[in-house]
Structure 1
Amino acid sequence: MQLPVVGTLFQEAYYVDDLERVAAAWSESLGAGPFVVSPHHRCDRFDYRGTDAQADVSYAFGYLDDVMIQFIVQHDDTPSIYLDMYPDGPPHGAGFHHIGILVEDFEAEFDRLVDAGFVCATRLFADNVDAAYFDTRSITGGFTEIHGSPVHIVDTFARWRESHRRHAPGGPAIIPRVRPASN
């Protein structure tokens, strides 16, 4: 079965036991990064399988060539899409979790996946953008995230990608997250 999503694959995500260690390893061995960390991320709206219980998670975002790499660490034992896949933690400290697809019409793509029979495990709204995670483990070996593409988020991703292009070997694996000033 083909995933019925119209969009652009932009991200590979991994569930990890230590953001800093894994970011440093990817930076040193693959030239990925630098990574921007979002510690203890909170959403404005959140639904995990019919509940609003948000796990305490931190993220690191960086690029390897033109693909965004995301690392996720969960700090508690709240049920989540991460523990759905790795109830005993990530094997060897890191494991593939999901792919991300950037979509122009979030609601249409959400409906398209639901109509095709895929289960939405998590839907959220954060940083003024919608995202949803569908359980596609039977097809992809992980979840599939659809992610809205408003201008501010596309611009943020472009800044992170440009940081990667300028990233010198041996440079810092993690850099501070800089948010543009509000008008």
Structure 2
Amino acid sequence: MLKFGRPIGSIAQQSFIVPDIKSGIENLQRYMKIGPFFVVEHFPLHEYRYRGNPDHLDVTAALAFSGGTYYELVQQNNDAPSVYMETYHKRGWGFHHWAVASDDFDAHVKNYQEKGAPMALYGVTDFGTRVAYMDTTATLPGMLEVIEIGPKIEEFFGLIQSASIDWDGRDPIRILG
């Protein structure tokens, strides 16, 4: 069980692509009272590969919890080929992917590949956490992200969830450096 209440391997996150991160946050807060959002501008993703090819992806991510549900909003800041623009060109803004937290990253990735889902994105965060987006769109209405769980990323997710408990609406957007 993860410190933020989700079993390993279960759906830990829902992610949406938006044209403007600030208005996306404001809409979720106004209609659904989700917050506060922690924003990482120009989210660093090292060793980035889109469908096996290296490139430079520039995104801003906004992260928040509502109860046990972890939400992510993603705004792409450049025109690099990406899983986000691929989805946008197919069906517009909105739902993009679910994420699972994995304690055996390579096994999870291999399992999804064996089920027919190719790896569409690979990268490593500043925490040293590997992430892979598996293209499950042939059978599901979105992609599936595998997040390699470790102490640093689990602590980070826990911090975001703790801030959401009894959140009173103040300081709704918190920029992380």
Contact 2:134 2:143 in 1 (8 A): yes
* Counterparts of 1:85 and 1:44, CA distance in 2: 22
What secondary structure sits across from 1:137 in the alignment?
A: coil
Q: How does 1:1-183 map to 2 (within 5 A)?
A: 7-87=9-89, 90=92, 94-127=93-126, 128-168=128-168, 170-177=169-176
The Cα offsets for residues 22-75 of structure 1, whole Å up to 9 and x where unpaired, read as 111111221101111110122221111121112221100011211110000011
Bigger drift between 32-41 and 42-51 goes to 42-51
* Counterparts of 1:132 and 1:50, CA distance in 2: 11
Distance change >3 Å, CA 89–CA 76, structure 1 → 2: farther
Contact 1:48 1:54 in 2 (8 A): no
Matched residue count: 169
User: Aligned Cα RMSD in Å?
Assistant: 1.7
* Counterparts of 1:52 and 1:30, CA distance in 2: 37
Q: Which amino acid aligns with 1:148?
A: E
Q: What's the CA shift for 1:164?
A: 0.5
User: Which structure 1 residue ranges, 4+ long, deviate > 3 Å from structure 2?
Assistant: none
* Counterparts of 2:171 and 2:37, CA distance in 1: 9
Tell me what 1:181 maps to. Answer: none
Contact 1:136 1:143 in 2 (8 A): yes
* Counterparts of 2:90 and 2:114, CA distance in 1: 32
Aligned sequence identity (%)? 24
Q: Which amino acid aligns with 1:36?
A: F
- Gaps in structure 1 of 5+ consecutive residues: 1-5, 179-183
* TM-score in terms of structure 1 length: 0.86
The Cα offsets for residues 130-179 of structure 1, whole Å up to 9 and x where unpaired, read as 110011112221110010110111111011001001311x323211327x
